[in-house]
Amino acid sequence: MSDNESTARIISTDLQQEMSQSYLEYAMSVIVGRALPDARDGLKPVHRRILYAMHELGLSADRPFRKCARVVGDVIGKYHPHGDQAVYDALVRMAQDFSMREPLVDGHGNFGSIDNDPPAAMRYTECRLTAFAQTSLLQDIDANTVDFGDNYDGSQQEPLVLPTRIPQLLLNGSSGIAVGMATNIPPHNLGELVDGLIALIQNPNLTSLELMQWIPAPDFPTGALIMGQSGIREAYTTGRGSITMRGVATIETLEQRGRPTRDAIIITELPYQTNKAAMIEKIAEMVNEKRLEGIADIRDESDRDGMRVVIELKRDAQAQVVLNNLYKQTPLQANFGVNMLAILQGEPRTLTLRDSLQAFLDFRQEVIERRTRYELQKAEERDHLLQGYLLALAHLDRVIVLIREAADTATARAELQAVFGLSEAQADGILQMQLRRLTALESEKIQAEHEELVRRIADLRDILARRERVMQIISEELEQIKARFASPRRSQICLDDSELDTADLIENRETIIFLTEQGYIKRMGIEEFQVQGRATRGKAGARIKEDDAIEQFFACRSHDTILLFTDRGVVYTLRGYQVPQGSRTARGSAIVQLLPITREERITSMVPVSEFTDDEYLVMLTRGGYIKKTALSAFANVRSNGLIAISLEENDELRWVRRARSSDDVVMATRQGMSIRFRADDEQLRPLGRATRGVRAITLNPGDNLVSMDIISAESVMAAEQEGEGLANPWVLVITKAGRGKRSAIDNFRQQNRGGKGVIATKFRQDSDELAALRIVNAEDEIMLVTARGIVMRQAAKAIPTQSREATGVLVQRLDPEDSIVGVTVVPASFIGDPEEADEIVDGVSEED
């Protein structure tokens, strides 16, 4: 081998160390150079380069649009050595108002849609900077406010960060996947960020939790609801958390020509980054696979005025249940996983809310100081030149003679410096002065400009000397941006179930709840049924299947807690408004959809409770005649899977449950018309725990069985004794299955000891008739009767005449053949608006059948 030929060198190295070092360098290159935003300006390199290239091209908000292909070409040719499609995708996203809370690029043409439609090719679309981007991100970039560095080939200089005036990291958020780490920062509201920054400037000791007074939650460009604040608190205090987003949906009734009205769910806002078309497709797929019930049709009626997705429901569907299933099973409700990771001081760091704001303030302070030093330098240079002008004007004749006698420019410059002590810049300025500047007026302008610069220089030096001045300037500039660009919050914050009771959003109105033998339940407004006269037919209250019948119904309020007792002695709970609402002819919803009970288990009694007081009890009666009394407060917290209410004998079942106090009386009746009344005090009924059987209530005749139980309030009896015979008197109302009924005075039913046979409550005109219900009423109350076929009749209690215990009663409701009364509920006087209407009905009622 000749001396001129180079020799190969082999370097020995450890492979593991080399791989580790090389991979680390690659990872840091991706993390810093591509995937993660800078905590100072909140931008990734590609976004920063696009904005700077558009600034260089002069694509300001008041200039014409330019082709996106031109911008992409400049970016990849000068600054970003990657694919043009990646650059174009980043440019497109900055123009999408459904991706950016404050768009930075003004797009002209097709820039995609929320349905994930792709944008048009870059050769067809045009763009320019928005006024917001120009004002808040690029202003002062030429005032030496940020550092510049070489581009990838050293031929150009590019900014390493933009001199942003707003915390872009939080305003528009960011997302990216690096090597071994990722970032996902939600967007926020500009006005709230400004308020939070000003608060932090005024009190630097504020914590992230305290800053939530001004920045309560993210603000997504697509709006939607933010459910709960626990995830937000975690994200703001630790940098990581999960935020639940829920689309905005309302329930409307559609009026369609030639077709019956139907309920529909109208979706007007979606969670951030949710693909509308994909969501609709998924809903349709789930409906076809029977995983979503109750949906008849799905239509996308969105237009330029806004989003509108119509989900039409089937006639028997409960809109709220369908909507809850949509939230649970579709992207209509989604979680945003917050991971506030950004580059700070050259390293990736997980930032809290306060860290993010403080990083911006530190950077902004540096920008203000650098801009101030730049302006000070320019002002001092200009004032230095003006001082030379003023000196020349003061010795104008000598200066003119000196210049005229000089052989050339260099000689004149040197003599001016030597004679008047001027600098080279001042001498050059004097030599370049135009003759018009020698007039008296121009001399005054130069003097005024000099004096203004002296004040300006003093002010700039004061800014650099005092930090509070810098922070004041930051606050003023933030307020200016807020006044010009801030917009109202789009994402509304809703407290989650643990923080807000749904009842707070629902009117507490009077309602009637029906339950059929086959377990269908529904809720209706009491105003659906008008007061009618005695012996009329009533109105249809439910569409009943041939093999079904109304078993129970009662009056309550929407906010009441309903205790539902099963035949197996287990109690469940629902709020009144949680029972699906239905029309008079609707069958209702299956109870198994609302409660975790088996199809073999039946609800036998329902008790509405407005308040769980310590002095009230629940009196429970089984079909076998066992009774017990348990404190109402023992049922204040019923688990979702139920609670044992009573221990039952084999083949026995819990049948009736009523609320009572120890001073009240219990009255019950049998199918054959016998009744018994005894005290509910501790002597007759001592309080027992939940998992107990109880004691014998009545001795039944052979072939007889219990059909009803009610409570005689001691307060009403006492009031009757004080007022004498009158409206306040409580009465025993007896209704038979054949529709006959009467009121009897309570005094006719003497108190007995528990366990006896009782006394006759009514006699029957027909041998086939049976007792349907025995209820305690006041004369100002109303009653509602329901038949096995779902016919409901509402009438005033005093419209039913008073008779003795042995009487057979009068016709209360006229029934169709083979129909019968199955239930009676009392509508308390407090539920009734105007009792005078009932008085008018009573006036025309005859005591005769």
CATH number at residue 258: 3.30.1360.40
* Integer Cα distance of 517 and 567 in angstroms: 12
Beta strand spans in 517-582 (E): 520-525, 539-540, 550-557, 561-566, 570-575
The band of 30, judged by pLDDT with boundaries at 50, 70 and 90, is: low
pLDDT at position 835 is 41
Q: Which of 94-98, 175-179, 348-352, 365-369 has the lowest mean pLDDT?
A: 175-179
Give the model's pLDDT for residue 545: 54
CA gap 264, 309 in Å, rounded: 10
Residue at 20 is within a domain: no
481-523 pLDDT, tens digit per residue, is: 999 999 999 999 886 543 434 554 456 778 888 887 778 888 8
pLDDT value at 847 more than 50: no
Domain boundary among 286, 305, 331: 331
Q: Do 636 and 682 lie in a common domain?
A: yes
Residue that the structure tokens 């004998």 belong to:
649
Whether the pLDDT of residue 8 is over 90: the answer is no
Predicted pLDDT at 831: 57
Same domain, 271 and 142: no
Q: Is residue 361 part of a domain?
A: no
Quote the Cα angle for 593-598-603, to 5°.
80
**pLDDT tens track for 522-564:** 888 777 666 666 656 655 555 555 555 566 777 888 888 999 9
Determine the Cα–Cα distance for residues 133 and 461; give it in Å rounded to an integer.
30
Say if 235 falls within a structural domain: no
Q: Is residue 681 part of a domain?
A: yes
CB-CB contact of 257 with 227 (8 Å): no
Residue 500, pLDDT score: 37
Q: Give me the active site residues, please.
A: 124
| Same domain (yes/no): 457, 603 | no
Confidence class for position 759, pLDDT limits 50, 70, 90? very high
Domain endpoint, select from 306, 331, 356: 331
Lowest-confidence segment of 204-218, 525-539, 740-754, 804-818 by average pLDDT:
525-539
408 and 275 in a common domain: no
CB contact set of 773 (below 8 Å; sequence gap of 6+)? 669, 707, 708, 733, 734, 735, 821, 823, 824
Mean pLDDT of the chain: 85
Q: What is the CATH number of the domain that holds 420?
A: 1.10.268.10
Based on the domain organization, do 524 and 457 belong to the same domain? no
Band (446; pLDDT cuts 50, 70, 90): confident
462's enclosing H/E stretch is helix 440-465
What's the whole-number mean pLDDT along residues 697-707? 88
Domain count, the chain: 4
Check which CATH number belongs to the domain holding 42 and give it.
3.90.199.10
Mean pLDDT, residues 796-800: 88
Q: Find the angle CA(444)-CA(447)-CA(452) to the nearest 5 degrees.
A: 125
Kindly tell me the sign of the dihedral angle through the C-alpha atoms of 295, 301, 302, 307: negative
Grade residue 576 by pLDDT with cuts at 50, 70 and 90: confident
Q: How confident is the model at residue 41 (pLDDT cuts 50, 70, 90)?
A: very high
**Percent of the chain with pLDDT strictly greater than 70:** 89
652 and 564 within one domain: yes
Q: Do 535 and 409 reside in the same domain of the chain? A: no
Alpha carbon distance 401, 410 (integer Å): 16
Over residues 149-158, the mean pLDDT reads: 90
Full residue range of the structural domain in which residue 153 is found: 28-185
Cα–Cα dist 137/104, whole Å: 9
Q: Give the domain CATH number at 577.
A: 2.120.10.90
Lowest mean pLDDT among 126-140, 617-631, 716-730: 716-730
Average pLDDT for 831-842: 43
Q: Is residue 359, in this structure, part of any structural domain at all?
A: no
Does residue 294 lie within any of the structural domains?
yes
Same domain? 772 vs 810: yes
Asked whether residue 412 falls in the same domain as residue 321, the answer is no
- Residue-level pLDDT at 364: 95
Which pair of structure tokens corresponds to residue 796? 């005033």
- Chain segment 684-697, per-residue pLDDT in tens: 889 998 888 889 89
Q: 348 in a domain, yes or no?
A: no
Q: Does 27 have pLDDT greater than 90?
A: no
Give DSSP secondary structure letters for 15-56: HHHHHHHHHHHHHHHHIIIIIS-BTTT---HHHHHHHHHHHH
Ranges 98-112, 154-168, 577-591: which has the least confidence: 577-591
What are the pLDDT digits (tens) for 205-231?
999 999 999 999 999 999 999 988 889
In a domain, 770, yes or no: yes
The pLDDT of residue 499 is 41
Residues 595 and 714 in one domain: yes
Please tell me the distance from the alpha carbon of residue 727 to that of residue 707, in angstroms, as a whole number.
Answer: 28
Examine the domain organization and report whether 452 and 595 are in the same domain: no
On whether both 657 and 793 belong to a single domain, the answer is yes
